[in-house]
Structure 1
Amino acid sequence: MELIQQVPEISAYLVADEAIDHEHPLVRETAARLRADSEGAYAYAVAAYGFVRDTIAHSADSGDMRVTWRASDVLATRNGICHAKSHALAALLRAEGIPAALCYQRLAEENGDPGPVHGLIALRLPGRERWARQDARGNRPGVDAQFSLDGERLAWPIRPQFNEVDYPVLYAAPHPEVLRGMKAAADRAELWRTLPAAL
Protein backbone atom coordinates (compact mmCIF):
# COMPACT_ATOMS: atom_id res chain seq x y z
CA MET A 1 0.00 0.00 0.00
CA GLU A 2 1.31 3.45 -0.88
CA LEU A 3 1.49 5.58 2.27
CA ILE A 4 0.87 9.31 2.07
CA GLN A 5 2.73 11.71 4.34
CA GLN A 6 0.27 14.14 5.85
CA VAL A 7 3.11 16.32 7.15
CA PRO A 8 5.94 16.87 4.67
CA GLU A 9 8.72 17.29 7.25
CA ILE A 10 10.08 14.00 8.61
CA SER A 11 10.85 15.77 11.89
CA ALA A 12 7.10 15.92 12.62
CA TYR A 13 7.22 12.16 13.18
CA LEU A 14 9.77 12.55 15.99
CA VAL A 15 7.84 15.06 18.11
CA ALA A 16 6.57 14.36 21.62
CA ASP A 17 2.95 15.23 22.40
CA GLU A 18 0.41 14.45 25.11
CA ALA A 19 -0.21 10.90 23.86
CA ILE A 20 3.23 10.06 22.47
CA ASP A 21 5.06 11.40 25.51
CA HIS A 22 8.50 9.99 24.75
CA GLU A 23 10.20 12.49 27.05
CA HIS A 24 8.55 10.82 30.08
CA PRO A 25 11.09 9.05 32.32
CA LEU A 26 9.37 5.66 32.03
CA VAL A 27 9.43 5.82 28.24
CA ARG A 28 13.10 6.84 28.31
CA GLU A 29 14.00 4.09 30.78
CA THR A 30 12.19 1.46 28.73
CA ALA A 31 13.85 2.65 25.52
CA ALA A 32 17.29 2.61 27.17
CA ARG A 33 16.75 -0.95 28.42
CA LEU A 34 15.68 -2.14 24.97
CA ARG A 35 18.54 -0.27 23.29
CA ALA A 36 21.11 -1.88 25.61
CA ASP A 37 20.20 -5.27 24.16
CA SER A 38 19.96 -4.09 20.54
CA GLU A 39 22.66 -3.21 18.06
CA GLY A 40 21.52 -0.65 15.50
CA ALA A 41 18.20 0.92 14.56
CA TYR A 42 16.73 -2.19 12.95
CA ALA A 43 17.41 -4.41 15.96
CA TYR A 44 16.04 -1.73 18.29
CA ALA A 45 12.86 -1.36 16.22
CA VAL A 46 12.32 -5.13 16.27
CA ALA A 47 12.87 -5.20 20.04
CA ALA A 48 10.51 -2.29 20.69
CA TYR A 49 7.86 -3.87 18.48
CA GLY A 50 8.15 -7.23 20.22
CA PHE A 51 8.06 -5.59 23.63
CA VAL A 52 4.82 -3.73 22.91
CA ARG A 53 3.16 -6.57 21.02
CA ASP A 54 4.04 -9.31 23.51
CA THR A 55 4.35 -7.75 26.98
CA ILE A 56 1.56 -5.17 26.93
CA ALA A 57 -1.79 -6.92 26.98
CA HIS A 58 -4.51 -5.88 24.58
CA SER A 59 -7.27 -5.13 27.05
CA ALA A 60 -9.98 -6.78 24.93
CA ASP A 61 -7.99 -10.04 25.14
CA SER A 62 -7.08 -9.75 28.82
CA GLY A 63 -10.44 -8.44 30.02
CA ASP A 64 -8.86 -5.33 31.58
CA MET A 65 -11.47 -2.58 31.67
CA ARG A 66 -9.03 0.31 32.17
CA VAL A 67 -8.59 2.77 29.32
CA THR A 68 -5.07 4.04 28.67
CA TRP A 69 -4.15 6.45 25.88
CA ARG A 70 -0.87 8.10 26.93
CA ALA A 71 2.25 6.07 26.05
CA SER A 72 3.74 6.35 29.54
CA ASP A 73 0.48 5.10 31.09
CA VAL A 74 0.38 2.17 28.67
CA LEU A 75 3.90 1.21 29.74
CA ALA A 76 3.07 1.68 33.43
CA THR A 77 -0.11 -0.43 33.38
CA ARG A 78 1.01 -2.87 30.64
CA ASN A 79 -2.47 -2.50 29.24
CA GLY A 80 -4.21 -0.92 26.27
CA ILE A 81 -6.19 -1.34 23.09
CA CYS A 82 -4.57 -1.12 19.65
CA HIS A 83 -4.44 2.69 19.66
CA ALA A 84 -2.82 2.83 23.09
CA LYS A 85 -0.26 0.21 22.11
CA SER A 86 0.46 2.17 18.92
CA HIS A 87 1.09 5.30 21.00
CA ALA A 88 3.51 3.33 23.19
CA LEU A 89 5.38 1.87 20.22
CA ALA A 90 5.59 5.24 18.47
CA ALA A 91 6.96 6.78 21.67
CA LEU A 92 9.62 4.09 22.07
CA LEU A 93 10.69 4.50 18.45
CA ARG A 94 10.75 8.30 18.58
CA ALA A 95 12.71 8.18 21.83
CA GLU A 96 15.54 6.61 19.84
CA GLY A 97 15.25 8.94 16.84
CA ILE A 98 13.26 6.60 14.59
CA PRO A 99 10.41 8.43 12.80
CA ALA A 100 7.08 6.82 13.65
CA ALA A 101 3.62 7.66 12.32
CA LEU A 102 0.15 6.57 13.39
CA CYS A 103 -2.00 4.74 10.83
CA TYR A 104 -5.57 3.53 10.83
CA GLN A 105 -7.83 0.90 9.30
CA ARG A 106 -11.61 0.75 9.14
CA LEU A 107 -12.52 -2.82 10.07
CA ALA A 108 -15.78 -4.73 10.44
CA GLU A 109 -17.01 -7.19 13.03
CA GLU A 110 -17.19 -10.87 12.05
CA ASN A 111 -20.86 -10.42 11.08
CA GLY A 112 -19.96 -7.53 8.76
CA ASP A 113 -21.20 -4.74 11.06
CA PRO A 114 -18.85 -1.74 11.30
CA GLY A 115 -16.34 -1.96 14.13
CA PRO A 116 -14.24 0.78 15.69
CA VAL A 117 -11.28 2.13 13.73
CA HIS A 118 -8.13 0.05 14.27
CA GLY A 119 -4.76 1.66 15.06
CA LEU A 120 -1.24 0.72 13.99
CA ILE A 121 2.02 2.51 13.22
CA ALA A 122 4.45 3.05 10.37
CA LEU A 123 8.16 3.55 10.84
CA ARG A 124 10.99 4.71 8.64
CA LEU A 125 14.38 3.30 9.46
CA PRO A 126 17.62 5.10 8.56
CA GLY A 127 18.73 4.48 5.00
CA ARG A 128 15.28 3.40 3.85
CA GLU A 129 13.11 5.56 1.61
CA ARG A 130 9.85 3.79 2.36
CA TRP A 131 7.67 3.68 5.43
CA ALA A 132 6.71 0.24 6.76
CA ARG A 133 3.48 -0.35 8.67
CA GLN A 134 3.62 -2.51 11.79
CA ASP A 135 0.76 -3.77 13.94
CA ALA A 136 1.63 -4.33 17.61
CA ARG A 137 -1.96 -5.11 18.63
CA GLY A 138 -0.94 -8.45 20.12
CA ASN A 139 -1.32 -11.94 18.73
CA ARG A 140 -3.92 -14.55 19.66
CA PRO A 141 -5.45 -17.51 17.82
CA GLY A 142 -6.25 -16.24 14.35
CA VAL A 143 -4.04 -13.14 14.67
CA ASP A 144 -0.36 -13.43 13.71
CA ALA A 145 1.15 -9.96 13.22
CA GLN A 146 4.93 -9.90 12.69
CA PHE A 147 7.56 -7.18 12.28
CA SER A 148 8.38 -6.90 8.59
CA LEU A 149 9.94 -4.33 6.30
CA ASP A 150 9.49 -6.23 3.05
CA GLY A 151 5.84 -7.22 3.15
CA GLU A 152 3.14 -6.27 5.62
CA ARG A 153 2.31 -8.84 8.32
CA LEU A 154 -0.56 -7.00 10.00
CA ALA A 155 -3.13 -8.38 12.41
CA TRP A 156 -5.92 -8.31 9.84
CA PRO A 157 -5.94 -8.12 6.05
CA ILE A 158 -8.56 -5.79 4.65
CA ARG A 159 -11.80 -7.47 3.48
CA PRO A 160 -13.30 -5.29 0.74
CA GLN A 161 -16.58 -7.23 0.81
CA PHE A 162 -17.20 -5.73 4.28
CA ASN A 163 -16.19 -2.22 3.15
CA GLU A 164 -12.99 -2.37 5.20
CA VAL A 165 -10.42 0.29 4.34
CA ASP A 166 -6.71 0.92 4.78
CA TYR A 167 -6.31 4.64 5.39
CA PRO A 168 -3.04 5.57 3.65
CA VAL A 169 -2.30 8.73 5.67
CA LEU A 170 0.70 8.93 8.02
CA TYR A 171 -0.44 10.91 11.05
CA ALA A 172 2.20 12.64 13.16
CA ALA A 173 -0.21 12.81 16.12
CA PRO A 174 -3.24 10.70 17.05
CA HIS A 175 -6.29 11.41 14.93
CA PRO A 176 -8.42 13.90 16.93
CA GLU A 177 -11.55 11.72 16.79
CA VAL A 178 -9.66 8.68 18.05
CA LEU A 179 -8.00 10.58 20.87
CA ARG A 180 -11.28 12.24 21.83
CA GLY A 181 -12.98 8.85 22.02
CA MET A 182 -10.20 7.41 24.17
CA LYS A 183 -10.23 10.33 26.58
CA ALA A 184 -14.02 10.32 26.87
CA ALA A 185 -14.41 6.67 27.83
CA ALA A 186 -14.71 5.78 31.52
CA ASP A 187 -13.95 2.13 30.79
CA ARG A 188 -13.34 -0.20 27.86
CA ALA A 189 -17.04 -1.03 27.45
CA GLU A 190 -17.75 2.64 26.90
CA LEU A 191 -14.66 2.98 24.70
CA TRP A 192 -16.19 0.78 22.00
CA ARG A 193 -19.03 3.33 21.84
CA THR A 194 -16.84 6.46 21.85
CA LEU A 195 -14.29 5.40 19.23
CA PRO A 196 -15.14 6.38 15.64
CA ALA A 197 -16.14 3.69 13.14
CA ALA A 198 -14.59 5.67 10.28
CA LEU A 199 -12.23 8.61 9.74
Structure 2
Amino acid sequence: MQLTPETIDMTRYLASSEIINFEDLDIQRTALNLSKGINDEIWLIKTVYEFVRDEISHSVDIGSGNVTWNASNVLKFKHGLCFANSHLLAAILRYLGIPTGFCYQKLEFDGKMGLHGLNAVFIGSIDKWIRLDARGNGNGINARFSIGEEYLAYLPEEEKNEVDFRVIYAEPDRRVVEILRQSRNLNEALDKIFDMDWLLE
Protein backbone atom coordinates (compact mmCIF):
# COMPACT_ATOMS: atom_id res chain seq x y z
CA MET A 1 0.00 0.00 0.00
CA GLN A 2 1.35 3.42 -0.96
CA LEU A 3 1.39 5.74 2.05
CA THR A 4 1.24 9.51 1.71
CA PRO A 5 2.71 11.80 4.40
CA GLU A 6 0.55 14.87 4.92
CA THR A 7 3.68 17.03 4.99
CA ILE A 8 7.28 16.86 3.79
CA ASP A 9 8.37 18.62 6.99
CA MET A 10 9.81 15.72 8.96
CA THR A 11 10.18 17.85 12.09
CA ARG A 12 6.41 17.65 12.49
CA TYR A 13 6.74 13.88 12.90
CA LEU A 14 9.23 14.45 15.73
CA ALA A 15 7.32 17.11 17.66
CA SER A 16 6.08 16.88 21.21
CA SER A 17 2.57 18.00 22.15
CA GLU A 18 0.03 17.73 24.93
CA ILE A 19 -0.90 14.33 23.48
CA ILE A 20 2.55 13.09 22.42
CA ASN A 21 4.11 14.42 25.62
CA PHE A 22 7.56 12.90 25.64
CA GLU A 23 8.82 15.55 28.08
CA ASP A 24 7.32 13.26 30.70
CA LEU A 25 10.14 11.70 32.73
CA ASP A 26 8.59 8.24 32.80
CA ILE A 27 8.39 8.23 29.00
CA GLN A 28 12.00 9.33 28.79
CA ARG A 29 13.14 6.68 31.26
CA THR A 30 11.22 4.02 29.37
CA ALA A 31 12.73 5.15 26.06
CA LEU A 32 16.26 5.12 27.45
CA ASN A 33 15.80 1.68 29.02
CA LEU A 34 14.41 0.22 25.80
CA SER A 35 17.17 1.73 23.67
CA LYS A 36 20.05 0.79 25.96
CA GLY A 37 22.77 -1.03 24.04
CA ILE A 38 20.91 -0.87 20.71
CA ASN A 39 22.74 0.84 17.85
CA ASP A 40 20.65 -0.45 14.95
CA GLU A 41 17.70 1.75 13.95
CA ILE A 42 15.48 -1.09 12.74
CA TRP A 43 16.11 -3.19 15.84
CA LEU A 44 15.36 -0.16 18.03
CA ILE A 45 12.02 0.48 16.33
CA LYS A 46 11.11 -3.20 16.63
CA THR A 47 12.02 -3.23 20.33
CA VAL A 48 9.94 -0.16 21.15
CA TYR A 49 7.01 -1.38 19.06
CA GLU A 50 6.95 -4.79 20.72
CA PHE A 51 7.10 -3.18 24.16
CA VAL A 52 3.96 -1.15 23.49
CA ARG A 53 2.19 -3.99 21.69
CA ASP A 54 2.93 -6.56 24.40
CA GLU A 55 3.16 -4.57 27.64
CA ILE A 56 0.40 -2.01 27.12
CA SER A 57 -3.02 -3.67 27.08
CA HIS A 58 -5.99 -2.77 24.91
CA SER A 59 -8.63 -1.36 27.26
CA VAL A 60 -11.42 -3.52 25.85
CA ASP A 61 -9.36 -6.71 26.15
CA ILE A 62 -8.88 -6.21 29.90
CA GLY A 63 -12.34 -4.80 30.57
CA SER A 64 -11.06 -1.51 31.91
CA GLY A 65 -13.65 1.14 32.63
CA ASN A 66 -11.47 4.22 32.41
CA VAL A 67 -10.17 5.94 29.28
CA THR A 68 -6.56 6.97 28.71
CA TRP A 69 -5.64 9.55 26.09
CA ASN A 70 -2.15 11.06 26.09
CA ALA A 71 1.12 9.14 26.03
CA SER A 72 2.07 9.56 29.69
CA ASN A 73 -1.44 8.61 30.78
CA VAL A 74 -1.27 5.41 28.75
CA LEU A 75 2.14 4.51 30.19
CA LYS A 76 0.97 5.20 33.74
CA PHE A 77 -2.12 3.00 33.54
CA LYS A 78 -0.59 0.44 31.12
CA HIS A 79 -3.62 0.34 28.81
CA GLY A 80 -5.50 2.30 26.17
CA LEU A 81 -7.69 2.03 23.12
CA CYS A 82 -5.83 1.61 19.84
CA PHE A 83 -5.58 5.38 19.41
CA ALA A 84 -4.11 5.94 22.85
CA ASN A 85 -1.58 3.15 22.44
CA SER A 86 -0.48 4.73 19.16
CA HIS A 87 0.11 7.98 21.07
CA LEU A 88 2.51 6.21 23.43
CA LEU A 89 4.40 4.46 20.64
CA ALA A 90 4.83 7.79 18.86
CA ALA A 91 6.03 9.53 22.01
CA ILE A 92 8.74 6.98 22.77
CA LEU A 93 9.97 6.81 19.18
CA ARG A 94 9.90 10.58 18.72
CA TYR A 95 11.90 11.07 21.90
CA LEU A 96 14.47 8.71 20.39
CA GLY A 97 14.57 10.79 17.20
CA ILE A 98 12.51 8.50 14.98
CA PRO A 99 9.78 10.21 12.91
CA THR A 100 6.40 8.71 13.71
CA GLY A 101 2.92 9.53 12.44
CA PHE A 102 -0.64 8.32 12.67
CA CYS A 103 -2.82 6.31 10.29
CA TYR A 104 -6.45 5.23 10.42
CA GLN A 105 -8.72 2.51 9.14
CA LYS A 106 -12.52 2.46 8.94
CA LEU A 107 -13.65 -0.98 10.05
CA GLU A 108 -16.81 -2.87 10.90
CA PHE A 109 -17.08 -4.21 14.43
CA ASP A 110 -20.20 -6.18 15.37
CA GLY A 111 -22.14 -4.64 12.52
CA LYS A 112 -21.12 -1.07 13.28
CA MET A 113 -18.53 1.07 11.49
CA GLY A 114 -15.80 2.51 13.63
CA LEU A 115 -12.32 3.94 13.41
CA HIS A 116 -9.08 2.12 14.20
CA GLY A 117 -5.80 3.91 14.87
CA LEU A 118 -2.24 2.80 14.22
CA ASN A 119 1.19 4.28 13.49
CA ALA A 120 3.48 4.90 10.57
CA VAL A 121 7.21 5.02 11.32
CA PHE A 122 9.94 6.35 9.05
CA ILE A 123 13.06 4.20 8.79
CA GLY A 124 15.83 6.48 7.61
CA SER A 125 18.30 3.73 6.77
CA ILE A 126 15.99 2.37 4.07
CA ASP A 127 14.14 5.65 3.33
CA LYS A 128 10.74 4.07 3.92
CA TRP A 129 7.60 4.55 5.95
CA ILE A 130 6.13 1.39 7.47
CA ARG A 131 2.91 0.94 9.40
CA LEU A 132 2.88 -0.69 12.83
CA ASP A 133 -0.18 -1.63 14.85
CA ALA A 134 0.33 -1.46 18.61
CA ARG A 135 -3.27 -2.37 19.44
CA GLY A 136 -2.17 -5.54 21.21
CA ASN A 137 -2.47 -9.16 20.14
CA GLY A 138 -4.77 -11.97 21.21
CA ASN A 139 -8.22 -13.18 20.20
CA GLY A 140 -6.99 -14.01 16.71
CA ILE A 141 -5.02 -10.77 16.26
CA ASN A 142 -1.36 -11.23 15.38
CA ALA A 143 0.18 -7.88 14.45
CA ARG A 144 3.95 -8.01 13.90
CA PHE A 145 6.90 -5.83 13.06
CA SER A 146 7.82 -6.02 9.39
CA ILE A 147 9.66 -3.79 6.93
CA GLY A 148 8.15 -5.68 4.00
CA GLU A 149 4.69 -7.19 3.99
CA GLU A 150 2.39 -5.60 6.56
CA TYR A 151 1.12 -7.65 9.50
CA LEU A 152 -1.50 -5.39 11.06
CA ALA A 153 -4.28 -6.15 13.50
CA TYR A 154 -6.92 -5.79 10.81
CA LEU A 155 -7.13 -6.06 7.03
CA PRO A 156 -9.96 -3.85 5.70
CA GLU A 157 -12.42 -5.58 3.39
CA GLU A 158 -13.79 -3.50 0.51
CA GLU A 159 -16.99 -5.55 0.29
CA LYS A 160 -17.82 -4.34 3.80
CA ASN A 161 -17.03 -0.75 2.81
CA GLU A 162 -14.04 -0.81 5.11
CA VAL A 163 -11.29 1.67 4.24
CA ASP A 164 -7.52 1.87 4.63
CA PHE A 165 -6.75 5.60 4.74
CA ARG A 166 -3.40 6.29 3.07
CA VAL A 167 -2.44 9.55 4.74
CA ILE A 168 0.22 9.65 7.45
CA TYR A 169 -0.82 12.39 9.84
CA ALA A 170 1.71 14.29 11.92
CA GLU A 171 -0.73 14.58 14.82
CA PRO A 172 -3.62 12.41 16.00
CA ASP A 173 -7.06 13.35 14.69
CA ARG A 174 -8.33 16.05 17.05
CA ARG A 175 -11.89 14.65 17.07
CA VAL A 176 -10.64 11.27 18.26
CA VAL A 177 -8.55 12.94 20.96
CA GLU A 178 -11.55 14.91 22.20
CA ILE A 179 -13.61 11.73 22.45
CA LEU A 180 -10.91 10.13 24.58
CA ARG A 181 -10.49 13.22 26.76
CA GLN A 182 -14.17 13.92 27.35
CA SER A 183 -15.54 10.41 27.81
CA ARG A 184 -16.31 9.53 31.42
CA ASN A 185 -15.85 5.80 30.86
CA LEU A 186 -14.89 3.29 28.20
CA ASN A 187 -18.45 2.53 27.11
CA GLU A 188 -19.12 6.21 26.44
CA ALA A 189 -15.93 6.47 24.38
CA LEU A 190 -16.82 3.40 22.34
CA ASP A 191 -20.35 4.66 21.71
CA LYS A 192 -18.94 7.89 20.31
CA ILE A 193 -16.30 6.12 18.23
CA PHE A 194 -19.00 3.97 16.62
CA ASP A 195 -21.13 7.02 15.94
CA MET A 196 -18.59 8.92 13.87
CA ASP A 197 -20.35 9.57 10.58
CA TRP A 198 -17.54 12.02 9.79
CA LEU A 199 -14.88 9.25 9.83
CA LEU A 200 -12.00 11.23 8.36
CA GLU A 201 -14.09 12.80 5.61
> Normalising to structure 1: TM-score of the pair?
0.95
Equivalents in 2 of 1:166, 1:20: separation in Å?
23
What is the aligned partner in structure 2 of residue 154 from structure 1? Answer: 152
Equivalents in 2 of 1:38, 1:194: separation in Å?
41
Determine helix, strand or coil for the equivalent of 2:134.
coil
Q: Does 1:4 align with 2:10?
A: no
Any residues of structure 2 matched to 1:1-199 within 5 Å, and which? 1-111=1-111, 113-114=112-113, 116-195=114-193, 196=196, 198-199=199-200
Equivalents in 2 of 1:37, 1:54: separation in Å?
21
Could you tell me whether the CA contact under 8 Å between 2:41 and 2:125 is conserved in 1? no
Determine helix, strand or coil for the equivalent of 2:31.
helix
Q: Which digits, 9 at most, give the CA deviation of each residue in 1:154-178, with x for residues without a partner? A: 0011111111001111111111111
- CA positional deviation for 1:27: 0.7
Percent identity over the alignment is 37
Count of aligned pairs: 197
Please identify, of 31-40 and 158-167, the stretch whose mean Cα deviation from structure 2 is larger: 31-40
Determine helix, strand or coil for the equivalent of 1:145.
coil
Gaps spanning 5+ residues in structure 1: where? none
Please identify, of 117-126 and 36-45, the stretch whose mean Cα deviation from structure 2 is larger: 36-45
Equivalents in 2 of 1:129, 1:40: separation in Å?
15
Determine helix, strand or coil for the equivalent of 1:51.
helix
Q: Which digits, 9 at most, give the CA deviation of each residue in 1:94-136, with x for residues without a partner? A: 010000001100000143x31x210000001122222100001
Gaps spanning 5+ residues in structure 2: where? none
Determine helix, strand or coil for the equivalent of 2:66.
coil
Determine helix, strand or coil for the equivalent of 1:107.
strand
Equivalents in 1 of 2:42, 2:128: separation in Å?
14
> Normalising to structure 2: TM-score of the pair?
0.94
CA RMSD of aligned residues (A): 1.1
Letter in 2 for 1:47: T
Could you tell me whether the CA contact under 8 Å between 1:184 and 1:194 is conserved in 2? no
- CA positional deviation for 1:38: 2.7
Could you tell me whether the CA contact under 8 Å between 1:82 and 1:120 is conserved in 2? yes
Could you tell me whether the CA contact under 8 Å between 2:100 and 2:121 is conserved in 1? yes
Letter in 2 for 1:6: E
